[in-house]
Chains A and B, each alone.
Chain A
Amino acid sequence: MKSEDVISRRPGVMEARISEDELVLLGVGSESYVGLDAIASDVWDRLEAPMRFADLVSSLAADYDAPAERIEADLEPTLATLVEGGLVDIAPAG
C-alpha cells in the first residue's frame, strides 16, 4: 500500500460492540461478520473520516509508541480483512 492511498469506510456498515475489546462489523447486503479486536477497533474508529495511509500509520505510531515500520506491518492484515469484508475502500494515490 502506498502512503498517499486513501482509506475510507463504505457507507452503511453496521457496528455492534459485543464486549469491551470486540467490535463486530457487517457490511451492507453481506452476511459475513467481521470481528475486530481492540486495536483493529481503534483503526476502524480512526477511519470515521477518509484518511491517507501515511496519516493512519503516523497517528497509530504516535499513540502506540511504536516504529512506523512495525505499525505498517501490523496494519496490512487488518486492512486486508476490512477490504475483504467489503467494509472499506482504498483509493490508489494519484
Chain B
Amino acid sequence: MSAAPPPTDPGAAPDAGARAPIPAHRPDLAPARGRFSALGLVFDSDIVAPWMEPAPADAPADVTVRIAPVPPAPDAAPVAGVWRLTGPGEMVQEASFMRIRITDGRRVELDLSRAAGTSRETIALALGYGVTPGLLHQRGALPLHAAAAAGPLGAALFVGDAGAGKSTFAAMLARSGWALAGDDLIALDLGEGRPIGVHRAMRTARLFEDSAQALARIDAPDPSPPRARAHSLAHSPDRAPSRGVSEITGAGEGLGKGVRALADADAALGGFAWPVPLRAVFALEWLHPDDAAPELERIGGMQALMRLRDAVGRPEVASALGRDPAYFAQLGRIAAQAPVYALRRPRRFDAAPAAAALARAAMEEAAARAAAKETSA
C-alpha cells in the first residue's frame, strides 16, 4: 500500500453557490479537494492530510466533506455528547475552532469561520478523531474507542480504560513489524457471511510525550528501508523525525495528547489487504509491581462482552441515535469470533516487548484455530 499523500486538487472549487467560510488572511484553508480511504469508507474531502490513505481511483465516495457555512444548532436541539441533534439524520457540533454538521452519515460540512489560528493538520485531525465517530454512529457502523494493529497472522484489537496504554502499545507494535490499523478510533468490517475484519483508520497515534520519547528510543537504530520512514508532518526540514514517529502533528483543543503520524510496517510488508481479519482482542491492564512479568488471561463469555461494550466510542451518541440494540448484537458477534484476553503488563516501556510476545503467541493460536475451522468447513 502506498504511503504517498492522497491526490489533491488545489484548484477545485467548492460546491457551486456556497462561499467557503474561512477566515480572512487564511487562503491556505481554502478547499483543496482530495480523496482518501479510512474506516472502510471513501471520503471525497475538501480537507486531506498526508497520513490519510489515498482512495482507489475508481471507488465511489461514501462521504463528502465540504467547507461550507453551517448555522448554529437551535437551543432546543437535544444534546448527545458533543453533538446536538438538529433534525432527522442531522447533527451539529460546536468545536472551539469550527462548527460541524453531519447529515445522513454521508455529508460532512465544516464551517471554518473561526479557524484563524488553526492549522490545516489540526482541522484534519479533528475531522478524523472528533467528527468521524459521529459519522459512524449515523451510519450504524460501531465506532470503537480502541487501537488496532495488523500482522501476517491477522489483526489485533486493543481496548481498555483511558490511560491503559492502548496508543503506546499499538504504536510500539507498529515499530516492530506490524501495521498500525489506527489508534483511538477503529471501525470493523461487520458484513454478514464473512469473518470480521479491521479497517484501516488513520496512520496516526495519540501519544503522551513520554510515550513518544520512549518510542523514539526504541527507534534509535535505523535499519528501515526508506519507504518505511516517517512522513514529516511538521514541515520542519531542519528537524528530521525519528524513524516512524514524526513530530507532533497537532495538539489542538479537544485532541488532548499530541498526535503523531507513524510510519509502520505496512509498506515494508508489501501492504495489507484491508480490512484484515480480526484474530484477537486484548484488554490492556497495568500490572503491579513494576518488576512483574507480563501475563495473559483469556476472558470468556459475558466478561468479554462487557469489555467490548466498554469500548464503544461516544456511547451517548449511540444511545441517542437508537443504535444500542444493533451494536450489542454486533459486539456479541465479535466476542463469538475473536478470543478476548486481558493483557497485563507493568508500567515500564521495556516490558512492552515481552507483552507483545504474549500477544503474538495468542494471535498464532487464534490464527491456527481459524485456519482449522476454515479447513473443516
Contacts and interface: CB of A to CB of B under 8 A. Distances in A.
B331 interface: yes
Interface in B304-361: 304-306, 324-325, 328-329, 331-333, 335-336
Interface string A6-47: 000000101111110010101000000101000000000000
A18 B340 CA distance: 12
Contact of B336 (A12, A18, A33, A35): A18
B301 interface: yes
A17 B305 contact: no
Chain A interface bracket (under 10, 10 to 19, 20 to 34, 35 or more): 10 to 19
Given A18-B305, A19-B336, A35-B302, A12 B325 contact: yes
B301 A18 contact: yes
A47 B169 CA distance: 45
Nearest to B330: A16
Nearest to A19: B336
Contacts of A35: 301-302
A33 B305 contact: yes
B329 A15 contact: yes
A19 B324 CA distance: 20
A40 to B, nearest CB: 14
A26 B324 CA distance: 11
B328 A18 contact: no
Contacts of B301: 18-19, 22, 24, 35
A16 B306 contact: no
Nearest to B303: A33
Given A12-B325, A14-B324, A15-B328, A24 B302 contact: yes
A39 B329 CA distance: 19
User: Chain B CB within 10 Å — which of A15, A22, A24, A33 has the most?
Assistant: A24
Contacts of B304: 18
Chain B interface bracket (under 10, 10 to 19, 20 to 34, 35 or more): 10 to 19
Contacts of A16: 305, 328-329, 331-333, 335
Given A24-B305, A33-B306, A17 B328 contact: no
A1 B267 CA distance: 65
A24 to B, nearest CB: 5
B329 A33 contact: no
A26 B305 CA distance: 11
A18 B302 CA distance: 8
Contacts of B336: 17-19
Given A22-B301, A35-B301, A17 B332 contact: yes
A14 B332 CA distance: 11
Nearest to B325: A14
A16 B328 CA distance: 6
Contacts of B331: 16
Nearest to B304: A18
A4 to B, nearest CB: 31
A14 B324 CA distance: 8
Nearest to B306: A33
A17 B325 contact: no
Contacts of A12: 325
User: Chain A CB within 10 Å — which of B329, B332, B333, B336 has the most?
Assistant: B332
Given A22-B301, A35-B301, A17 B306 contact: no
A74 B230 CA distance: 63
A17 B302 contact: no
A24 B333 CA distance: 11
B113 to A, nearest CB: 40
A17 B336 CA distance: 7
Contacts of A24: 301-302, 305, 332
B328 A14 contact: yes
B278 to A, nearest CB: 15
12 contacts: A14-B328, A15-B328, A15-B332, A16-B329, A16-B333, A18-B335, A19-B301, A22-B301, A24-B301, A33-B302, A33-B306, A35-B302
Interface of A: 12, 14-19, 22, 24, 26, 33, 35
Which 6 pairs show the lowest CB-CB distances between chains A and B?
A16-B332, A14-B328, A18-B335, A33-B302, A14-B325, A18-B332
Given A16-B332, A17-B333, A35-B301, 10 more contacts: A14-B325, A16-B333, A18-B301, A18-B304, A18-B332, A19-B336, A24-B305, A24-B332, A33-B302, A33-B305
